[in-house]
Amino acid sequence: MNSKMKSELTNEQQKAICSQLGNAMKLNLIYKASIHGFTGAAFHQHCDNKSPTVSVGYNKSGFVFGGYTRQSFSQSGQFVNDNQAFVFSFSGEKLNKYPVTDPLHAVKMTKSSGPNFGDTLILVYDNNRKLYSNPGSPRSSLYNKYYTFTAEEMHGNNLDLSDCEVYQVEECIKFENPWREVTWKSEEKKKLMERIKSYKPSISSVPAARVLLVGAVGAGKSSFFNSFKSVFRGHVTGQAMAGTSYTSVTRRFRTLTVKAERDGQLLPFVICDTMGLESKEGAGLNPDEISNIINGHIPDKYQFSPSDSLQPEAHGFCKNPELKDKIHCVIYVVDASKVSIMSQNMEKTLKAIRETVNLSTIPQLVLLTKIDEACPLVKEDITNVYKSIYVKELMEEAATRIGVSLSCVIPVKNYSEELKPDMNTDILLLNAVDQILNFVDDFFDEQESE
């Protein structure tokens, strides 16, 4: 997807469309009328000879509708045959599908318009920000059109388009062999758990590795901690507040620990959770607070203020922190399903934070979450994570946007709707923590050499 174009379709709506096409599919946005122009010429420039496609219209009444065809668009002026074509509308996230009734007239190649579904539903009609709609009626034989729906349910009788998008449908293909090796066996899970439990920082004055999670609201910071804890508890937990709010659920600086067993010793691994970043100025975590956090000046349970950072003279400011109080690794948590549409403000904020962290020798990694939501192949089977070409592309894009090497990007799936842990999901989470600890060791080696 072009990084400058933001899809109007929600993730749930995209999933609903893909479920009609075969689940191992993804939608790649290739035309957006509000950017490229509400003209037939602009549409054909970006969409001709590309197939299959999903075309989507939006009107000012809030209706979302469109059509699917396997045929490539052209400017021939002819009808083309497609027995798999359909038009659709949404009721919230629910897709209402209307299959073609006469496949010989499924799609018409119109020069002066956008996507034309059988002269029944036309988006960007006659080079205008308009919709043409002349459906067949399910209640009358007088209107023998090629798709049967009502104007009310399709677009609420509002023919003014607010936008039009065309997506090319792409199969989520995979590599023959995984490009990173992971052992998907219960013995490997036990080995990783033991390695994490027995981990000891090389500097004796530091009892545990402290890892800071930074990321946008809803990226999955708190969910990562809950998921990691679930691996050791054997059931899905929810200690850290997680949610899907547009503003940060986490308001305080939290140092979160995990016990190896319910009554066992604490793991030598502390996750520091922060308020989420927001694109809106003056909201979310103040980037100026990062220096205080990584240098150990922020106390546990400190209440964040989006407008002001904690000052040295303020109550609670830790003036003389030791190495054990500081951050030993910074993890940027990025939602895989949103990495391609990351806003410029968010990218700018992350860059500013990275520049601050760069002043230290603290290692920095990217945790790519929600890979199952981004890639149908992974949703189908988590062990496809390093076989999925699409996931690798997302990892490469995340690496570029954050400014780290691909080796510093680690994909994971958090527990969000499950009630019981899954062995393969556990192994991916444990591998992520194991890799984080390897980077922490590099940090301690650097500290000892100094």
Domains of the chain plus CATH, in order, are 11-171 (no CATH), 186-449 (3.40.50.300)
pLDDT at 139 over 60: no
Give the per-residue pLDDT at 137. Answer: 53
**pLDDT above 80 (res 124):** yes
CA-CA distance, 307 to 295, in Å (whole number)? 20
pLDDT for 214 beyond 90: yes
In whole angstroms, give the CA distance from residue 219 to residue 211: 17
Tokens 């997680």, located at residue: 242
Residues 269 and 206: beta-carbon distance below 8 Å: no
Please state the rounded mean pLDDT for residues 71-90: 96
Which range (112-116, 227-231, 258-262, 438-442) has the least confidence?
258-262
Of the pLDDT bands very low, low, confident and very high (cuts 50, 70, 90), residue 317 is confident
Helix (H, G, I), strand (E, B) or coil at 239: coil
Query: In this model, does residue 140 exceed pLDDT 50?
Result: no
Of the listed ranges 308-317, 337-346, 414-423, the least confidently predicted one is 308-317
Work out the pLDDT band at 449, boundaries 50, 70, 90: confident
Tokens of 85: 């074509």
pLDDT at 32: 97
The answer to whether residues 227 and 256 touch, using CB atoms and an 8 Å cutoff, is: no
Give the pLDDT band of residue 242 (cuts 50, 70, 90).
low
* Backbone dihedral angles phi then psi of residue 380, each to the nearest 5 degrees: -70, -40
pLDDT in tens, 272-304: 988 888 766 655 577 778 888 999 888 888 776
Least confident residue range of 74-88, 197-211, 225-239, 403-417: 225-239
Q: Write down the pTM of the prediction.
A: 0.71
Confidence of residue 141 (pLDDT cuts 50, 70, 90): very low
| CA gap 413, 358 in Å, rounded | 28
Report the side by side order of strands in the sheet with 364-369.
Answer: 254-256, 269-273, 209-215, 329-335, 364-369, 409-411
- Contact call for residues 68 and 52 (beta carbons, < 8 A): yes
The pLDDT of 139-150, averaged and rounded, is: 68
Provide the token pair at 46: 């970006």
The dihedral sign for the CA sequence 383, 387, 390, 394: positive
